[in-house]
Amino acid sequence: MADFSHWADRYAANRCSAAEAIARIRPGTRVFIGSSCGEPQHLLRALAEAADSLKDIEIVRLFNLETTPLTLIANKTGGTALNIRSFYAGSARSATIARNQRFLTPVNLSAVPRLFRSRLLPVHTALIQVSPPDDFGWMSLGISVDITLAAAESADLVIAQVNPRMPRVLGRSFLHVNQVDLFVEHEEPLLSVGEAPPLEAARGIARLISSRLVEDGSTIAIGLGATSEAVLLALSGKNDLGVHTQYLTADMMHLFARGVITNRKKGFNEGKMVASSAIGGEAFYEFLDDNPAIEFHPSDYVNDPAVIARHHRMVAMSVAMAVDLTGQVAADALPHNQFSGVTGVLDFIRGASLSPGGKSILMMPSTDRQGKKSRIVPLLRDTAVVVPRSDVQLVVTEYGAVNLFGKSFQERALGLISIAHPDFRDELFFQAKKLGLLGGERTLHETLHGVYPVHLEETVELHGETITIRPAKPVDARRIQEHFYALDPEDVVARFFHERRSFDREEAEEAAQVDYVRDLTMLAVVGEFGFGRVVGVGEYLLDPASNYAEIAFSIHRPYQRLGLGRLLLRKLEAAAREHGIAGFYAYTAASNTGMIRLFQSLPCRVTTAIEGDMVTLRAHFKEPASP
């Protein structure tokens, strides 16, 4: 147990230069280097300068896209001076990472501290960066607690760069002077990361996530990059968000300042933003200093799935690099950024799945930056899988979102093809059939070329229940079929003009597979995203000869007379007008007064023709309604 008495004398007696401290490192030992933006740069430069006198040193650290001389030294000496072991659970798909993949150690971040503390991977020397000691001798690891705390507490020799610019971050981030062996005082700017290059697709992804997938009162965890920055910006209209995440960023500071992040409804660690590291700039680091609303904890706490699961409505958002049609996910560090959080992705995905109301979201532009390669691929080959298909829940591109949890391979393939870039959907469909993921009877329908009209989505509250009004997707065929089977006999006759006891799958697929222009199906859905129940269907189908579209509706009996039919009709009308359709027509029984009143509510001239017990209704969009 550390002796916390007379710390000031110990501090003064053990101050030294960086070169003197590095000279204490023995040959053949393992050296840990502080992580991320908390990297002790002054000590690292001294280590590199002493490379000629070092022999068989193993460097242990979190993965970093090297800008320091360490990798060059390791390459030049063939590993005889320095061998670098980087903890990294990514796929190593990019050329930059693949070049140094021999240095990678795949492990989930939550497990790394146990490797150190148990001495399964003993740390002989820890090079860390801390704030100056306070009046009681405590120094903060500041912006890099993650695995650094465990390394420092278990190392035989601890060398600390004492930097006045390191913020004093609260939580479990402290080491006492008596726990450190050597102190190197050196002030310098902390590492910082600028904004990611803008990405057009990121804004579309952000709109989808903020409008549908993150509720008020959610606790969020999010990775790094342009997509993550866009999502945080899009969340500015939310209320009472909480934060429990691997990396804290300046975007979260802005949401906190605006009152969007309050941490009041987290259900655990309420009132606190909790993280293990921070990445940003000088102003952000000043915000962290002695801020009672922020706590940093080590990775075996922050990334522990059991801890993550204790939060209410935990939403774990991570950036993916590729997803195959079975749901396997590849992820890597970002090319413009030294860090990505990818090593903690699986921890948060599994923790969020156990959280009350929680969910995990994998965010991904549909193509690479050049638009030449689809990020949704038939099958991940020669690539390490970061997230197994059994752990994947929601996948979002700028073309839509799909929930893969509990879905068959066929449902997964159809869903993922529907959110791929339209230029690649034909080939993905062909490959899916070739791989046996789709039945041989499946044909390439125009739906796969259509762009899902996100702007037609709307969430409403009717009699205390949340109902989502949205266009149909190919994966909705079974839900529509179940909707038809759940209709009352009278409503079946009203919709289909005769009694029916069965509804073929092909008929439901026709309703789900629309091109969103000439034919459109709008659904009213209740329940969790991806598992919702269809309680209302409104459809139009264009007659090209007349440029008028036939419409039809069906609504479950408990949801009738709530205004649901009118909501569906307004969406169909808006889409039809947008695409230049001249009007609507409908056939119904003369006794179906509800349908007649609904049709006559359209804000244009409506004509009626009666033939026997059937009524033909026709709406002319360009003609004003009769006074």
Q: What is the mean pLDDT of residues 582-607?
A: 91
Task: Read off the CATH number of the domain in which 232 is found.
Answer: 3.40.1080.20
Same domain, 143 and 166: yes
pLDDT of 48: 84
Same domain, 160 and 219: no
- If one counts the domains in the chain, the total is 3
Give the pairing type, strands 614-620 and 583-589: antiparallel
Closest CA to 279 of 231, 245, 316, 307: 245
- pLDDT at residue 475 greater than cutoff 90: no
Closest CA to 417 of 539, 508, 332, 326: 326
The residue out of 387, 420, 444 marking a domain boundary is 444
Q: Is 626 among the domain residues?
A: no
CA–CA separation, 298 and 62 (whole Å): 13
Q: Is 462 among the domain residues?
A: yes
- pLDDT at residue 286 greater than cutoff 50: yes
Task: Read off the CATH number of the domain in which 523 is found.
Answer: 3.40.630.30
- pLDDT at residue 338 greater than cutoff 50: no
CA–CA separation, 490 and 442 (whole Å): 33
Same domain, 320 and 436: yes
Closest CA to 447 of 472, 482, 466, 427: 472
Same domain, 117 and 263: no
Same domain, 416 and 461: no
- pLDDT at residue 105 greater than cutoff 80: no
Band of pLDDT at residue 90, cut at 50, 70 and 90:
very low
- pLDDT at residue 540 greater than cutoff 70: yes
Q: Is 2 among the domain residues?
A: no
For the chain, what percentages of helix, strand and coil (3-state, to nearest 5) are there? 35, 25, 40
Q: Is 195 among the domain residues?
A: no
Per residue in 375-390, pLDDT tens? 999 999 877 788 999 9
Least confident of 25-29, 59-63, 257-261: 59-63
Same domain, 465 and 440: no
pLDDT of 452: 82
Q: What is the mean pLDDT of residues 465-477?
A: 90
CA–CA separation, 624 and 600 (whole Å): 12
pLDDT of 342: 56
Helix (H) or strand (E) holding 536: strand 533-543
Same domain, 428 and 520: no
pTM: 0.85
Q: Is 190 among the domain residues?
A: no
Per residue in 444-468, pLDDT tens? 665 566 678 888 999 999 888 999 9
DSSP state of 38: G
Task: Read off the CATH number of the domain in which 40 is found.
Answer: 3.40.1080.10
| End-to-end Cα, the chain, rounded Å | 89
Q: Is 348 among the domain residues?
A: yes
Same domain, 389 and 493: no
Closest CA to 389 of 419, 420, 349, 341: 349
CA–CA separation, 47 and 19 (whole Å): 8
Q: Which residue has the higher pLDDT, 120 or 100?
A: 120
Q: What is the mean pLDDT of residues 183-203?
A: 85
Q: Which residue has the higher pLDDT, 427 or 85?
A: 427
Per residue in 479-510, pLDDT tens? 999 999 999 988 888 887 777 777 877 778 88
How many other C-beta atoms are found inside a 10 Å radius of the C-beta of residue 557? 12
How many other C-beta atoms are found inside a 10 Å radius of the C-beta of residue 478? 14
CA–CA separation, 379 and 435 (whole Å): 9
Least confident of 79-93, 211-225, 295-309: 79-93
Same domain, 225 and 117: no
Distance between alpha carbon 493 and the CA centroid of its chain, in Å?
Answer: 44
Closest CA to 199 of 225, 234, 235, 223: 225
Which residues, at least 6 apart from 378, have a Cβ–Cβ distance to it below 8 Å?
324, 325, 428, 431, 432, 434, 435
Band of pLDDT at residue 333, cut at 50, 70 and 90:
low
SS3 letters across 189-231: CCCCCCCCCCCHHHHHHHHHHHHHHCCCCCEEEECCCHHHHHH
Per residue in 46-83, pLDDT tens? 988 887 788 888 888 876 645 455 665 666 555 556 67
Which residues, at least 6 apart from 182, have a Cβ–Cβ distance to it below 8 Å?
14, 15, 16, 20, 21, 24, 157, 158, 159, 160
Residue range of the domain that includes 229: 200-444
- pLDDT at residue 92 greater than cutoff 50: no
The residue out of 153, 185, 217 marking a domain boundary is 185
Percent of the chain scoring above 90 in pLDDT = 63
Q: What is the mean pLDDT of residues 538-567?
A: 93
Tokens of 68: 């320091």
Same domain, 534 and 431: no
Q: Is 191 among the domain residues?
A: no
Same domain, 511 and 427: no
Q: Is 575 among the domain residues?
A: yes
CA–CA separation, 352 and 361 (whole Å): 10
Angle at 89 between CA 65 and CA 288, to 5 degrees: 65
Percent of the chain scoring above 70 in pLDDT = 88
Least confident of 296-300, 346-350, 497-501, 605-609: 497-501
C-alpha R_g of the chain: 30
- pLDDT at residue 170 greater than cutoff 50: yes
> Average pLDDT, whole number, for the chain?
88
- pLDDT at residue 337 greater than cutoff 50: no
Same domain, 180 and 215: no
Q: What is the mean pLDDT of residues 163-179?
A: 97
The residue out of 404, 419, 444 marking a domain boundary is 444
Closest CA to 571 of 473, 499, 472: 472
Q: Are 385 and 377 in contact (CB under 8 A)?
A: no
pLDDT of 104: 72
